[in-house]
């Protein structure tokens, strides 16, 4: 208990230090920076601005009220993280739910870790800390990864190192952003899971995507059932491969008939009949004399 009181007193003392214009700390090399940067300090809520890089955009009001009730009873157990912008001015890096709940609870101050960072590093810290420490929905996580690519030019390999996730995991999240916006909203709102979304990605036609999405929701299909439905659709798009069945010939020539013609002409013959009933008889000959012989037999 004595240690807790001492820690709180230290936090209040550092708060006073930060309000002294003669001790305005702007970099880690400034005087007293070691007493501030990385330490927990009680900051007034009105000197903290919301982080524009915050990946979370949906805040459940019911859970915020529950957190506010907990804060009223127990206080803010886990400090938020802020970066120093200017004299007595800070920007939130992580902990927006706690900050919002603290305001609802009527607090004037909140325990905060102080950091000094440029905009790029602040963005990286905000995204990485939120991905690792909060229950962002899959689309929010995907958007966070995409921002690291677009704004910081991090590769998937570099992101893998920063967030401690496999590159394949990051790639799977990013692929969700290829889905129709309606489906992305469905994932954010919890109507379907990330697994459902991954199954739908292979369908390029957005109309078909949304049609299957509606079926998933209305019939409460599992991920496995969705994968089977998508597979059936994809197989239906493949061209049919195989032998084309031919219609049977309307009649046939018996071997005895062929033999009779061959005997009459004194030559081996070949008879072919098409499906429409048309056909041809091929009569080979060995020489001009043989041809004349066959011709004489035909003329009779």
Catalytic positions are: 96
DSSP string, 21-70: GGG---STTSTTHHHHBTSEEEEEGGGEEPPTT-------HHHHHHHHHH
Answer whether 126's CB lies under 8 Å from 55's CB: yes
- Between vectors from CA 258 to CA 256 and to CA 262, what angle results, nearest 5°? 115
In a 3-state reduction of DSSP, which class is residue 280? strand
Q: Give all strands (DSSP E) within the chain, no chain letters.
A: 40-44, 48-49, 80-86, 89-94, 109-115, 270-273, 279-282
């Amino acid at each position: 208990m004595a240690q807790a009181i001492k820690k709180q007193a230290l936090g209040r003392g550092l708060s006073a230090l930060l309000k002294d214009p003669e001790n305005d700390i702007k970099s880690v090399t400034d005087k007293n920076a070691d007493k501030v940067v990385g330490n927990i300090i009680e900051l007034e809520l009105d000197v903290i601005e919301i982080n524009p890089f915050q990946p979370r955009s949906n805040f459940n009001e019911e859970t915020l009220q529950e957190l506010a009730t907990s804060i009223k009873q127990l206080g803010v157990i886990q400090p938020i993280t802020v970066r120093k912008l200017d004299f007595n001015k800070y920007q939130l890096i992580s902990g927006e739910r706690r900050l919002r709940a603290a305001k609802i609870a009527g607090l004037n101050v909140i325990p905060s870790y102080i950091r000094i960072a440029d905009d790029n590093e602040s963005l990286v810290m905000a995204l990485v800390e939120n991905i690792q420490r909060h229950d962002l929905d899959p689309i929010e996580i995907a958007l966070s990864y995409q921002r690291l690519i677009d704004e910081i030019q991090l590769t998937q390999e570099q992101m893998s190192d920063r967030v401690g996730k496999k590159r394949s995991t990051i790639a799977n999240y990013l692929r969700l952003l290829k889905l129709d916006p309606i489906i992305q909203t469905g994932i954010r709102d919890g109507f379907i899971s990330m697994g459902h979304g991954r199954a739908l990605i292979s369908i390029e036609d957005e109309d078909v995507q949304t049609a299957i999405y509606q079926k998933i929701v209305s019939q409460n299909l599992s991920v496995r059932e969705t994968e089977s439905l998508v597979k059936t659709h994809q197989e239906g798009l493949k061209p049919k491969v195989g032998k084309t069945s031919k219609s049977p010939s309307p009649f046939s020539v018996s071997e005895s008939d062929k033999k009779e013609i061959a005997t009459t002409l004194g030559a081996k013959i070949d008879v072919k009949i098409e499906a429409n009933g048309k056909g041809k008889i091929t009569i080979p000959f060995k020489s001009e004399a043989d041809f004349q012989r066959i011709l004489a037999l035909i003329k009779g």
